[in-house]
Amino acid sequence: MKALVLIGGFGTRLRPVTYTVPKQLIPLAGKPMLYHVLDLLPAEVEEVVLATGYKSEQIDAYVRAHPPRWPVRTVSEAEPLGTGGGMKNAGGTMSDPFFLLNSDVIAAVDLGEVARRHARSGGIGTMTLAEVEDTRPYGVAALGEGDRITGFVEKPEPEAAPSHWINAGLSVWRREVLDRIPPGRPVSFEQEIVPKLLDQGLFGYRLSRYWDDAGTPERLLRSQRLLFDDGRGGRGTLPAGSFGKGPVALLKGAQARGASFGGYVTVGAEAVVEAGAHVENSVLMDGAVVEREATVDGCLLGPRARVRAGHRVSHQVLGEGGEA
Ligand code: GDD
Ligand code: MG
C-alpha cells in the first residue's frame, strides 16, 4: 500500500510561528509533528506522497535531510486546493486501497490492523474515529450497526453533532474515491465528498488509547504530553547539568546547564536555557533562548525567539525572532 499525507494549509491557529515555519515541522517530544504521523505507517508501505502547498520547500528540504524509512515524494500545489483538491492533485499514483493521513494528528493506532479491517469490510473506506467532548472543530460521524458510518457532518454546531466520535484524520480508502473529486478547484474532502460516499459503505474504526489534533497552541502542548507519556520522546531524561524533572527532549547542540525543568519540554537544536531559568510544558524551537532567571510555562517559542532575563511568560506563542 501507498500513503498520501495532507500537508497544505496555513496553520493559521499557530501563528505567528507558522508565518515562517509550516506547523508540521514544529517539534513535539523531540520530533517534528509530521514524523510522529509517519511513524504510524506500517514498515511495508511502498511509497509516501506528501501533498504540500504552503512552505513546501521547507518540508522538502527537511525530508531530504532526514529521510524517513519509506521512499517519499512531494507533490506541491501552487494554490491551496483544500483536502480533497490536494488528494486529487497528488493522488495519481496511489495504490488500491491507500492510506490517507492528516499531518497534524497524534495517536496510538495500528494502521496495518485498520487496513485489514478495511479489506474485510468490503466498503469504500475505513475512517479511524476518536471520542472527544467538544466536537465543534472536527468532522463528526453517526454510527450504525457494525460501526457503519451512516452520517457525517464537518464542524457541526453542537446541537447538530450526531455523536462524539470524530474523524481522527487517519483513514484507508479505495482508490476510486479519487475519481469522485472534481479536478481543478479547491475541494473539502470532508465536507463535499465524504457525505456522498456513505452509501458505498464507510466504516468507523474506534481508537481506544489516545488521540489529539495538534493544530492549536493548547492542543499542541497536550499532544506533546501524550507523546512523552507514550514513550515517544526518547527517554526524556534531564539534560546534563540541569535539575528539576523530565521528560525533556534535547535536540542537537541545545544547552541547559544550571537550568531547571518542570517536565514535558522540547529544547530545539542550538536552543539555550540559561542558568537559573525554569521551563515547563513548552516547545522551544531551534535557536530559541530563555535567559537567566526567566520562567517559561505553556509556551511555543519560535526559532530564535528570546525570553529576556527575569521575565515570566506563560501560555504565549512567540514567532521567529520574537521577544518577550
Ligand atoms: N495539500 C493540502 N492542501 N493539504 C491541506 C490543505 C490544502 O489546501 N488544507 C489543509 N490541508 C491539510 C492540513 O495540513 C492537515 O494535515 C489536514 O489537511 C487537515 O487540515 P486542517 O486544516 O488541520 O483541518 P481540521 O483539523 O480543521 O479538520 C480535519 O482534521 C480533523 C481531525 O484533526 C478534518 O479532516 C476533520 O474531519 C477531522 O476531524
Ligand atoms: Mg487539523
Q: What is the pLDDT of residues 261-284, one digit of tens each?
A: 999 999 999 999 999 999 999 999
Cis peptide before 247 (omega within 30 of 0): yes
Q: The domain 243-318: what is its CATH number?
A: 2.160.10.10
Does residue 239 have a pLDDT over 80?
yes
For the domain made up of 2-216, the CATH class stated in words is: alpha beta
Pairing of strands 2-7, 105-107: unpaired
Backbone φ and ψ of 129, nearest 5°: -125, 140
Element (H, E) at 295: strand 295-297
Which DSSP category does 182 fall into? P
d(CA 230, CA 103): 19
pLDDT number for residue 316: 98
Please check whether residue 289 is in contact with residue 307, taking contact to mean a CB–CB distance below 8 angstroms.
Answer: yes
31 is catalytic: no
Determine the residue type at 258.
G
Q: Calculate the CA dihedral of residues 39, 28, 32, 131 and round it to 10 degrees.
A: 50
Task: Report if pTM > 0.85.
Answer: yes
Which DSSP category does 240 fall into? T
Ordered by start, the domain boundaries in the chain are: 2-216, 243-318
Q: Which residues make Cβ contacts (< 8 Å) with residue 47, sequence separation at least 6?
A: 2, 3, 70, 71, 72, 73, 93
Residue 74 alpha carbon to ligand 1 centre in Å: 17
d(CA 317, CA 324): 10
Residue 9 alpha carbon to ligand 1 centre in Å: 7
Residue 260 alpha carbon to ligand 1 centre in Å: 37
Instruction: Please calculate the CA angle 245-251-255 and round it to the nearest 5 degrees.
Output: 65
pLDDT number for residue 233: 82
Instruction: Please identify which residue in the block is written with the cell numbers 522538502.
Output: 60
Minimum-distance ligand to the CA of 103? 1
Q: Which residues make Cβ contacts (< 8 Å) with residue 14, sequence separation at least 6?
A: 23, 26, 215, 216, 217, 220, 300, 317
The overall average pLDDT reported for the chain is 96
Does residue 238 have a pLDDT over 90?
no
Question: 132 in ligand 1 pocket by Cβ < 6 Å?
Answer: no
